[in-house]
Amino acid sequence: MTAYDDLTAGFGDIVAPSRQARALARALRLGWRPMADRLNGRFVSLTVLRTALEHGTRLLRPDPGVHVEELTGADAAGVPIAGEWVRPPEPRDGAILYLHGGGYAFCSPRTHRTLTSRLAADTGLPVLVPGYRLAPEHPFPAALEDALEAYRWLLTDLPASRIVIAGDSSGGHLAAALVGEACRVGLPSPGGVVLFSPWVDLSCELSVLSDREYHDPFISPALARHFGRLYVGDHDDWSDPRLSLLDCAGLDLPPFLIQVAEQEVLRGEAERLAEALTESGNRCELQVWPGQIHVFQLFNRLFPEARAAVREAADFIRAVIPDDAAGEAA
């Protein structure tokens, strides 16, 4: 492909944002965003934020047809890998390695169960969600090291072609960084990559520019920059390929699907990543969803367009990891 697929006209029956999506965007624009701008990274209590998110997201119920179980595994050195499995009733052969978002500083496998459970139900694949270490207690490259160990652990039981790596926001950055690093260290590439509203530029230079055009109702670039600095810590080389995702030259990467909201500040970053991937000869499909907020897919039990977006992602995953019988026939 010489250019990425830029889809902006709507998906399936979803042409305009639903009433629920518009109401949430308006509430965030009037309530949350002004407060986030005033905070500007100051007086942000991670303890309070982490606790509020852990308890608040319990109101968003996971798909009732899946089973959640604690991960029991260990890396090559025998160190336990923390996290959870989200399993559909009749799992297919393969797995999704899902890396949750949260600015590298908060959230957990539990906070993202509405999305991971829907992915499991729609794809028929078990979803592994590692509880990687968080900043600032564990700055870069701790999260990437944990993600690599989880991927290596999956590879002991599955061929790479039966694994999809996915993530949202900072987890999208981590997923893309993991795939690039796997290529550089000689690990086999997964079957595909799915990114929801990926945070591509941790310095937030791109998002500051985009915010002037879109004025995201949810993400404050200044607050995002604060969390980016917490993650990077004392590592001052922003050109490190494990941090900077836009240099894809020489990397033979699997197919990517990127979904981003039309008016979020990370849209420009998603477009730049899609361009970088295709210019380096890799396949990427970019979907821009009208009227949505950052990682709106989390609200798939509330918004019809969120359900449609996850179905689009599931279709992509089923295409790169076909049903067992289809794969054997091929």
Q: Which of 207, 271, 294, 312 is catalytic?
A: 294
Over the stretch 70-123, which tens digit does the pLDDT of each residue have?
997 777 778 788 999 999 999 999 999 999 999 999 999 999 999 999 999 999
Q: What CATH number is attached to the domain comprising 169?
A: 3.40.50.1820
Q: Output DSSP code: residue 65.
A: T
Q: How many domains does the chain have?
A: 1
Whether 327 maps to a domain, the answer reads no
Whether 221 maps to a domain, the answer reads yes
Q: Name the β-bridge partners of 165.
A: 97, 193
Residues 74/131, Cβ–Cβ less than 8 Å: no
Active site residue 169: yes
Whether 329 maps to a domain, the answer reads no
pLDDT of residue 16: 77
> In sequence order, what are the residues at sequence separation of 6 or more whose Cβ sits closer than 8 angstroms to the Cβ of residue 286?
4, 5, 6, 7, 258, 260, 270, 271, 274
Six-digit token pair at 279? 């210019």
Over the stretch 145-166, which tens digit does the pLDDT of each residue have?
999 999 999 999 999 999 999 9
b vs e for 127-145, b when ≥16 Cβ sit within 10 Å of the residue's Cβ? bbbbbbebbeebbbbbbbb
The string of DSSP codes covering 229-287 is HHHHTT---TT-TTT--S--TT-----EEEEEETTSTTHHHHHHHHHHHHHTT--EEEE
Residues 107/99, Cβ–Cβ less than 8 Å: no
Whether 214 maps to a domain, the answer reads yes
- Rounded to whole angstroms, how far apart are CA atoms 9 and 2? 21
Q: Which parts of the chain sit beneath pLDDT 70?
A: 1-15, 40-44, 324-330
At 322, the amino acid letter reads P
> In sequence order, what are the residues at sequence separation of 6 or more whose Cβ sits closer than 8 angstroms to the Cβ of residue 29?
215, 217
Active site residue 210: no
At 159, the amino acid letter reads P
> In sequence order, what are the residues at sequence separation of 6 or more whose Cβ sits closer than 8 angstroms to the Cβ of residue 324?
92, 93
pLDDT of residue 103: 95
Q: Which of 169, 197, 210, 220 is catalytic?
A: 169
At 217, the amino acid letter reads P
pLDDT of residue 327: 45
Residue 141 preceded by cis peptide, ω within 30: yes
Whether 330 maps to a domain, the answer reads no
Q: Which of 264, 269, 285, 312 is catalytic?
A: 264
Whether 325 maps to a domain, the answer reads no
Whether 211 maps to a domain, the answer reads yes
> In sequence order, what are the residues at sequence separation of 6 or more whose Cβ sits closer than 8 angstroms to the Cβ of residue 225?
41, 203, 204
Residues 97/153, Cβ–Cβ less than 8 Å: no
Q: Name the β-bridge partners of 256.
A: 193, 284
**In residues, how long is the chain?**
330
Alpha carbon 76 to chain centroid distance?
26
H or E segment to which residue 130 belongs: strand 127-130
Domain of residue 205, residue span: 5-320
